[in-house]
Amino acid sequence: MEKQTTVLQHSIREEIDEKLKPLVEENLYLKNEVEKLNEKLKHLEWEKRENNLIFYGFEEPTDYKTYIIDMIIQTLNDSGIEMSKRDINKAFRIGKANGKARPILVKILNVWKKNEILKNKSRLPKNIFVNEDFSKEVLEKRRELIPQLKEERKKGRLAYIKYDKLVVKDKEGDTRDKRKREQSMSPKENNNDSRPKINKVNAFERMTNKEKRPKAKTKIIKPPPSRLVPVGDCDQSLPAKIQEINYGASLKTHIKTNEKRKLFIATLNCVTLRTQERLTELELALSNIKWDILGLSEVRRLGENIEDHKEYILYYKGETKGLYGVGFMVKKYLEKNIEEFKGISERIAVLNMHLPAYKHKWSIVQIYAPTEQHNESTKDIFYDQLSSVLQETHKNVMVIGDFNGRIGMQQTGEENVIGNFGFGRRSKNGERMINMAFENNLAFMNSFFRINTKKKWTWHSPDGSYKNEIDYIATNNRKLIQNVNILSQFNFNTNHRMVRAVLKWTEQKKSRSKYNIPTNNLKQQLEIKSKIDNYYEKEINEIFGSPQNILTKPKKNYTENETKTLIEERRSLLKLKKDKHNLKAISEISKKISNSIKKDRTKKRINTINYHIKKTGGVKKALNELVESKNWIPNIRNKNGKQETKRGNIIQIATDFYKTLYAAEPNTKEAVTNIEDEDIEDIPDFIQSEIEKAIQSQKTD
């Protein structure tokens, strides 16, 4: 009986263990998931508080938060800490009003600015204190660590609290103390010293003291060395004035070589670019602003084409006559960086290219979204196409254009999509935009930079009574965007404003050049010879005149004074308030500008044709000169019938086609025909008048 009971108990336990096993595993899995979620929450809370500072001791007047920001900025500037309104995102008091001065929570935009304030907090007035914004849990942990911190310091160790952890180091390993400068040696002692050279640069000190380094213009007067030696080739310490000049010059050259450039990417709803006069008007307007890549909405040109102009490359795609259409304008110097222009529809176009100074390629998507009045099916098709396009883009993405929707102000949980500087109320299309941004990890950059609310609108109604922000620039890599601004004085007739983003562009460092002495000497000799030849040519040209200047026709600017005057008049009108009367005046003067440009173009055509007829007796050269652009092949089908849009693939397909065409052997057979003598007609001889006419029709140049 006892054996049977033990066996039964054992079997029952095994069955219970087997049934409990999945429950135990599930419990462990849920515990791990909860721990992960807690870690994520802690990380999110840390990110939210990372740039925050809490100030204590400021008096609490009855005025509002604008006064708080001004008060903080003035106090910091008086204490020698540079601060401006651009560095502060928000500032408000914490807790309920109880008659006492409440602390002020300040959200700073940059971490390095926050660290600068904390480093220099000893400069603040005695009654003002500043501390980091920690959560309650972190504050409790820090309080618990204070007794242990004191004990470690009593033992003579270097101890400090970093966030919620205690860091303890031995003072022997502390390299923060500055090293004393050793006495300089005389040239003889230096030459006799046979000890191996040791690099005694303190790297930690070099990194920490970067901000304290003097600028190029600051004068540095160094004291002479302890042992004075005469100035010479082997002198190790030059006089103070010579050192000052050399240091300043080297620093200036360093600044020039590492100078940072900017890349300007903009978007504009141009209402129409159907005529050539309208395109010329846009060219004149763009000549007065900085831009590198421009996305275009409502181009209203039929078909798909790539035009190579003198200063830019124009791409457009349109399907409906007189409506919609999107495109790009890219500066000529970026021509080799273009990978492909890809037209998805008359509302979506993609520019894939390799931007300078960036390792990964960029995809710039230009869109013209349906308006609020369009039906839901049209909107669904558009956003489905857009989402499928965004899944096939490069690592760096930018979506620009006329979204025809308002995202409004930031709401809870939207910190990564909308910044603190939203505008207006959210519309139905705005809801679709937010969902699209969340799905593709995009951020609307218009809302991340402070712009005056009176200048933030990008569209106005035809009568000027309504103004909204519906043109945006969104990206998945917002750290690379330095600024986004709205150009309010762009001299072009449209009811939209241009939105422009500024990208960081740091020049890549050039590798150090290696010299080969024999070849270098030959190069120097060739350079000297070429310089002599160039100087000789220059002298000859100055005496007799350059043959190029004699043969070629000088270029003329065919924009007449009347057109320039009308453009300046419109510029002054655009600065005024956008009311009904002013908009009507702008529309009328824009029509005059278009007609004037048309007259200028006609005049240019007539003058060019007349010039070449008088000079050569023909119009072939005139027609070649009047060609304003060359067309690229926008797409081509490969052997498999697939459409290729990448520039490299198109060129390769065309090259292979012509190679096979000219490599093929001719299959023509010689046709033998018997012609009777009676069928041959007598050809008369040339007469003198015919020969004279042929000679006169020949080109004179």
End-to-end, the C-alpha distance of the chain in Å comes to: 128
Mean pLDDT, the chain, integer:
80
Domain-terminating residue out of 77, 99, 133: 133
- Return the C-alpha torsion angle 276, 281, 283, 285, nearest 10: -170
In a domain, 302, yes or no: yes
Structure tokens at 123: 């400069």
Given 3-state DSSP classes, what are the helix, strand and coil percentages for the chain, each rounded to the nearest 5? 45, 20, 40
Contact 292, 311 (CB under 8 A): no
In a domain, 177, yes or no: no
**Residues 466 and 328 both lie in one domain:** yes
Q: For residue 86, what pLDDT is reported?
A: 79
In a domain, 395, yes or no: yes
Better pLDDT: 672 or 145: 145
For residue 408, CA distances in Å to 47, 141, 373, 403, 426 come to 24, 40, 19, 13, 4
* Percent share of the chain, pLDDT over 90: 36
Q: For residue 245, what pLDDT is reported?
A: 36
pTM over 0.75, yes/no: no
Domain-terminating residue out of 109, 133, 157: 133
Contact 49, 42 (CB under 8 A): no
pLDDT band for position 699 (cuts 50, 70, 90) = low
For residue 227, CA distances in Å to 189, 230, 233, 622 come to 11, 10, 17, 79
In a domain, 284, yes or no: yes
pLDDT band for position 142 (cuts 50, 70, 90) = confident
Instruction: Tell me the per-residue pLDDT of 617-647, one tens digit each, with 9 for 90 and over.
Output: 888 888 888 998 999 999 999 888 898 999 9
Q: For residue 570, what pLDDT is reported?
A: 92
In a domain, 190, yes or no: no
Among 67-76, 172-181, 584-593, top mean pLDDT goes to 584-593
In the predicted structure, residue 145 carries a pLDDT above the cut 90? no
Structure tokens at 422: 């939203």
In the predicted structure, residue 233 carries a pLDDT above the cut 80? no
Better pLDDT: 379 or 7: 379
Sequence-separated (6 or more) residues with CB below 8 Å from residue 603 = 558, 560
In the predicted structure, residue 555 carries a pLDDT above the cut 50? no
pLDDT band for position 178 (cuts 50, 70, 90) = very low
User: What is the arithmetic mean of pLDDT over 607-613?
Assistant: 89
- Expressed as residue numbers, the domain containing 108 is 49-133
User: What is the arithmetic mean of pLDDT over 302-321?
Assistant: 95
In a domain, 114, yes or no: yes
User: What is the arithmetic mean of pLDDT over 175-200?
Assistant: 49
Sequence-separated (6 or more) residues with CB below 8 Å from residue 147 = none
pLDDT band for position 250 (cuts 50, 70, 90) = very low
When divided into structural domains, the chain yields a total of 3
In the predicted structure, residue 276 carries a pLDDT above the cut 70? yes
Range with the poorest average pLDDT among 552-556, 620-624, 667-671: 552-556
In a domain, 289, yes or no: yes
Range with the poorest average pLDDT among 66-75, 169-178, 299-308, 548-557: 548-557
In a domain, 205, yes or no: no
pLDDT band for position 669 (cuts 50, 70, 90) = low
Q: What is the CATH number of the domain that holds 120?
A: 3.30.70.1820
pLDDT band for position 321 (cuts 50, 70, 90) = very high
Burial class (CB in 10 A: 0-12, 13-18, 19+), 582: middle
